[in-house]
Amino acid sequence: MLKYSKYPIMPEPRVRHLLQERLHQAALVYIALRGICSAKSLDIVLKRNLLIDSLILWHLAATYPESVIMKRRLKRLQAGGLPLINHIAEQMGLREILYKYIPRHGNEDIPSVETLILLIFNLTLGKAPLYELEQWVQSIDLRCLGIQRFNKVNFNDDRFARALDKLYMADRASLMTDIVINVVKLFDINLDRIHNDSTTVKAFGEMLGKTITGLELKRGNSKDHRPDLKQLVFSLSVSSDGGVPVHYKCYSGNRTDDTTHIETWNSLCKIVSDPGFIYVADSKLCTDEQLNHIVRNKGRAITIIPETWNEVASFKKALRKQRKTKEIIWRRKKPGSNNENEYFSVFKGEYLTTKRGYKIHWIYSSEKRKRDRKTREIFLRKAEQRLALLNAKINKRNLKTKTDIQAAVEEIIQKDKVDDFIRIEIGTIKETIRGQVGKGRPGKNTKYRIHEKDLYTLTWMRDAERLKREANTDGIFPLLCTDKSMSAKETLKAYKYQPRLEKRFTQFKSSHNAAPLLFKKIERIEANMFLFFISLILQALIERSIRKRIKDDRIIGLEVYPEERTTPYPTTNKVLNLFENISAYFILQRAKAVEEFKDEFTETQQTILNFLGMTQNQYWRSAHRQTK
């Protein structure tokens, strides 16, 4: 052990104060000294006695003057999932295409494209407000993006806002087409089937005005269940090959889906060379105008027929009277279950639409049958509970007449849609009332008047016969296919990919934090939605690449869940979370890095890099060097 009596003279108060400040960063001191001190000396340094520690540090600085310990500090720069996102962006040639439409201006400190790239990557990781982006940029290692020469540029919210303004003024329609065509070509995306759906994105605050494309925030049918807020409609089309987005369009918040499909299909025809691809959408596609437009232009469509069509009502009416034969066409594992199966059947016979004769496949699902029965039972119980509460209130206040009681009953059973399954009976009984004639205390000569009053009773019971007939329709749904050569199984499998698109919307709002909109200008909202579209492409390509390698290599899956649980279908969000804490550490002396440390990769992280075709050197340093 060192003897304190042999130390040099105590340093002057100003130097001692600096020594004590540095001791508050114990971890930094440890890293700074580990190359020049023995383990025993380090134990002494890290003692809690501030005075003794100051003396020891000062003694070490005097003994090893070349280290100048007190002028060193630790700096951490996070890499995280950024290199993975950047690797995919470089593969799809994103920068080159963006520079084509948004060229660099001569007096820019940093090209607007590089600013937009940072914004896209931030959206892919999880959106942060513009005013927080400067702090985020300062915390990341720009070398992994190939833009370390801009590390002294001030990335404030104004810079990002100006970049969005430039993107808004660019030809975004042509830009989107170029990006998608490039992605389809480079990643060999199959576009034989494309799925479309839409969601709403709510907004807070007053954002007035209308863009040059006619976009404005309006109140409408809110899928976020916030009808009080203004919103916009975000329409997205993805390929059946990995769910990769290939088209998007933003509409005003009051636009309905049944008016968007012709425009969407026409835009997709510019991307897909053959218009014969299968276009899959929900029941809003099922209008004569839209279906006829697609078929007339040699396209194909698959959709589900809404309950309002006469074909649906007539088929269910016939099915209630008599059961029809059906055959099983597909068995699969129940989604979310490892030991339960779901099977689908198709009703035998040929069914066509009354107008234009499109083919209808009547499908029966074993799981939908369970859901339908459960839902009906829930509604029946709710109605019965409300009727019981109503029964306690009759013959009082505004429920003293049969007409008033009947109106209240109908309101309950129609609200829960069980008016066909519950029998209601309102009965009448006579109540005799004996009342004194005149005033005063009753006596032996008091006269009484007797009169009768009608009282009503309410009884109900389930109609067992109707419920039995209705059970014949449980689990069925009609799929419309304009291509008569497609079998029921092919049509069903195509439509059952639709939930993958809905999953994209879930990621759009949860992982990417698309809602709520927080901009002050509607023009920047429209530009930012374009960046969201690109971030969804990046996310889908990472996910597709990894899942494809897992399938091709026939491995069980990746350990992306807690407790080292594996999955053969890892999401991009889980993959990026695995790399979240990967960082580079620098020991700075006089503002210069004198030593660097990097986190090591786990076996799972290295496997992911291999699946994406990346080396560790490519992870830490991007191949992108020059700005056009």
Interval 406-423: pLDDT, tens: 999 999 999 888 888 999
In 3D, which of 85, 86, 92 has the Cα closest to residue 186? 92
Q: Answer yes or no: do 559 and 466 share one domain.
A: no
Q: Answer yes or no: do 322 and 388 share one domain.
A: yes
- Whether 272 is in a domain gets the answer no
Of 481, 508, 542, the position where a domain reaches its end is 481
- Whether 463 is in a domain gets the answer yes
- Whether 356 is in a domain gets the answer yes
**CA atoms within 13 A of residue 143's CA, in its CB half-sphere:** 10
Which pLDDT score is estimated for 110?
86
For residues 621 and 144, the answer to whether their CB atoms sit within 8 Å is yes
Is it the case that residue 137 has pLDDT exceeding 90?
A: no
The pair of structure tokens assigned to 442 is 């009753």
Is it the case that residue 12 has pLDDT exceeding 80?
A: no
Is it the case that residue 285 has pLDDT exceeding 80?
A: yes
For residue 52, is it left (φ>0), alpha (ψ between -120 and 50) or beta? alpha
39-48, 324-333, 424-433: range with highest mean pLDDT: 324-333
Number of domains the chain is built from: 3
Angle at 482 between CA 477 and CA 486, to 5 degrees: 80
Which pLDDT score is estimated for 367?
93
For residues 531 and 112, the answer to whether their CB atoms sit within 8 Å is no
Q: Answer yes or no: do 23 and 110 share one domain.
A: no
- Whether 516 is in a domain gets the answer no
Is it the case that residue 441 has pLDDT exceeding 60?
A: yes
For residue 81, which phi and psi values (nearest 5 degrees)? Answer: -90, 0
* Cis ω for the linkage preceding 516 (within 30 of 0): yes
Is it the case that residue 20 has pLDDT exceeding 70?
A: no
Of 425, 458, 481, the position where a domain reaches its end is 481
For residue 250, which phi and psi values (nearest 5 degrees)? Answer: -100, 135
Q: Answer yes or no: do 455 and 373 share one domain.
A: yes
Mean pLDDT of 458-465: 92
* Gyration radius (Cα) of the chain, Å: 35
Q: How far, in Å, CA of 361 to CA of 354, rounded?
A: 14
Q: Answer yes or no: do 337 and 381 share one domain.
A: yes
Which pLDDT score is estimated for 42?
46
Other C-beta atoms closer than 10 Å to the C-beta of 10 total 12
- Whether 492 is in a domain gets the answer no
Q: Answer yes or no: do 110 and 150 share one domain.
A: yes
| Domain containing residue 156 | 81-173+524-570
Mean pLDDT of 142-156: 81
Q: Is the dihedral of CA 303, 306, 311, 316 positive or negative?
A: positive
Is it the case that residue 515 has pLDDT exceeding 70?
A: no
Is it the case that residue 626 has pLDDT exceeding 50?
A: no
For residues 243 and 189, the answer to whether their CB atoms sit within 8 Å is no
In 3D, which of 169, 176, 224 has the Cα closest to residue 201? 224
Is it the case that residue 64 has pLDDT exceeding 60?
A: no
Q: How far, in Å, CA of 230 to CA of 200, rounded?
A: 10
User: In degrees to the nearest 10, what's the CA dihedral of 397, 400, 402, 404?
Assistant: -20
The pair of structure tokens assigned to 438 is 């005149």
Is it the case that residue 554 has pLDDT exceeding 50?
A: yes
Q: Answer yes or no: do 329 and 475 share one domain.
A: yes
Mean pLDDT of 305-313: 93
Q: Answer yes or no: do 28 and 105 share one domain.
A: no
59-63, 220-224, 242-246: range with highest mean pLDDT: 242-246
- Whether 86 is in a domain gets the answer yes
Burial of 212 (0-12, 13-18, 19+ CB in 10 A): exposed
The pair of structure tokens assigned to 186 is 């480079």
Of 466, 481, 496, the position where a domain reaches its end is 481
- Whether 419 is in a domain gets the answer yes
Q: Answer yes or no: do 68 and 97 share one domain.
A: no
Is it the case that residue 469 has pLDDT exceeding 70?
A: yes
Q: How far, in Å, CA of 583 to CA of 585, rounded?
A: 7
For residue 298, is it left (φ>0), alpha (ψ between -120 and 50) or beta? left
Which pLDDT score is estimated for 65?
52
Q: Answer yes or no: do 336 and 461 share one domain.
A: yes
Q: Can you tell me which residue has the tokens 């009080």?
A: 228
141: confidence class by pLDDT, cuts 50, 70, 90: confident
27: confidence class by pLDDT, cuts 50, 70, 90: very low
Which pLDDT score is estimated for 518?
67
Q: Answer yes or no: do 410 and 363 share one domain.
A: yes
Q: Answer yes or no: do 104 and 69 share one domain.
A: no
- Whether 292 is in a domain gets the answer no
Rounded mean pLDDT of the chain? 84
237: confidence class by pLDDT, cuts 50, 70, 90: very high
